[in-house]
Amino acid sequence: MENIAIIESFSDFKEEKNIDRVTLMSIIEESFRNQLNRKYGSDENFDIIVNPDKGDLEIWRNRTIVADGEVEEPNEEIELSEALKIEPDFEIGEEVSESVSLVQLGRRFVLSFRQNLIAKIQEHDNGILYKRYKDLEGEIIAGEVHHIRHREIIIYDDEQNELILPKDQMIPRDFFHKGDTVRAVVHEVDLRGTKPVVILSRTSPIFLEKLFEQEIPEVFDGLITVKKVVRVPGEKAKVAVESYDDRIDPVGACVGMKGSRIHGIVRELKNENIDVINFTNNTQLFIQRALNPAKVTNLTIDEESDRVEVYLKPDQVSLAIGRGGHNIRLAGKLTGFEIDVYRDVEEEDVELTEFADEIEDWIIKELKAIGCDTARSVLELSIEDLVSRTDLEEETINEIVRILKTELED
């Protein structure tokens, strides 16, 4: 088989691997030189001429002419008598360039060459695939489920490249069949040996952020910015958004009329509950918004420890915590604070007249005269203040305080 015919047979890889002809010829030359190195120990005295237009390959071996019987390196030297068969006027010391065909190199050489070529083309394809998907990290792609394994789903893209969606990167309610189209974000691209491994994710916060970009025009156009996303995949998510245009309500634009815009995102995430929150640099206000739907009565922020004490009415506490604690945990992740919730309970108080059975009437009148008409109003003052502001003895006041404390503690 002539060189050109063999090269044309190798060019089948061009169609199979979608590789351009110039690149293929470069790989062919590199593979051929590797094989020459294995066979002769060096390829330096060979000239390889690849013609990508014709798909032809020329091989020339250059050797120095020496006297008969003085050849020490057969790959680099040729006897004068052999050189004269090529050209009758050659002399010792001159260089001979001799055309070599693949057939002359032997069947084993050609088979090894082909194996080396296949490996190089695969390495080239792997490099292209790795770079392509490395550049797509953090972007959403779609693929078709090819087969389902115990711990992962194998997805093929449009070019039949294998992508992996692990079980731990799937939303708990995800359930796919072979042939289903799956959307996911490119989570990670690694090399295992020379083979690129593309890991997808549907649980990453980036997946939700990119869905906002795809589904909400103002986010795509940059009029609304997604500041931060936190999720409990399949359960609940909080998304902080901000608009630099005062005319645009970022929350309203993301949610849409009656939830029309966000509905598609919720459906894609298997009915994940999504709270869209208007971002603000006012830490106190941002924490209050993050705890939505609960209404905060008061809060105290400790910047040094990144903790915040939040006070709520008793009926708001369960809303702040949320089912399974998801709401308060996500609010903490969104704001960067550890949130401690306290019930804001108005302390019970009792009118002094209610103690008529235990405290004499004239003593109650004495206390009312200084503005103390309830049990707590008395207890808020010190013993010394009560003694100095009334005509009561210290022993009497101590007994009154004991009675009032006992009643409130009960």
Model confidence over 49-78: pLDDT tens digits?
776 555 567 788 888 888 888 888 888 888
Evaluate if residue 9 carries a pLDDT over 70: no
More confident residue, 109 or 271: 271
Mean pLDDT of 368-375: 79
Domain boundaries, the chain: 3-130, 136-201, 212-343, 352-409
Give the range with max mean pLDDT: 67-71, 130-134, 192-196.
Answer: 130-134
Q: What is the pLDDT of residue 202?
A: 97
Mean pLDDT of 268-279: 95
For residue 350, which amino acid is it?
Answer: V
Mean pLDDT of 247-255: 93
Mean pLDDT of 102-116: 75
For residue 374, which amino acid is it?
Answer: T
Q: What is the pLDDT of residue 13?
A: 53
Six-digit token pair at 199?
């890991």
Q: What is the pLDDT of residue 28?
A: 77
More confident residue, 98 or 166: 166
Evaluate if residue 321 carries a pLDDT over 90: no
Q: Whole-angstrom Cα distance, residue 216 to residue 219?
A: 6
CATH architecture of 212-343: 2-Layer Sandwich (3.30)
17: confidence class by pLDDT, cuts 50, 70, 90: low
Of the candidates 250, 249, 252, 232, which has an alpha carbon nearest to the alpha carbon of residue 241?
250
Q: What is the pLDDT of residue 91?
A: 83
Domain 3-130: top CATH class: alpha beta
Is residue 247 within 8 A of residue 284, CB to CB? The reply is no
pTM of the model: 0.67
| Overall fold of domain 136-201 | OB fold (Dihydrolipoamide Acetyltransferase, E2P) (2.40.50)
Give the range with max mean pLDDT: 265-274, 378-387, 399-408.
Answer: 265-274
138: confidence class by pLDDT, cuts 50, 70, 90: very high
Evaluate if residue 289 carries a pLDDT over 60: yes
1: confidence class by pLDDT, cuts 50, 70, 90: very low
347: confidence class by pLDDT, cuts 50, 70, 90: low
Beta strand residue intervals within 244-332, DSSP E? 273-278, 296-302, 307-312
Give the range with max mean pLDDT: 111-120, 145-154, 350-359.
Answer: 145-154
As a residue count, the chain comes to: 410
In the sheet with 338-343, reading across from the earlier edge strand, the strands are 296-302, 307-312, 338-343
19: confidence class by pLDDT, cuts 50, 70, 90: low
Query: How does the average pLDDT of the chain come out, rounded?
Result: 85
Indicate the burial class of 291 (C-beta count within 10 angstroms; 0-12, 13-18, 19 or more): buried
Mean pLDDT of 198-227: 95
Mean pLDDT of 218-238: 95
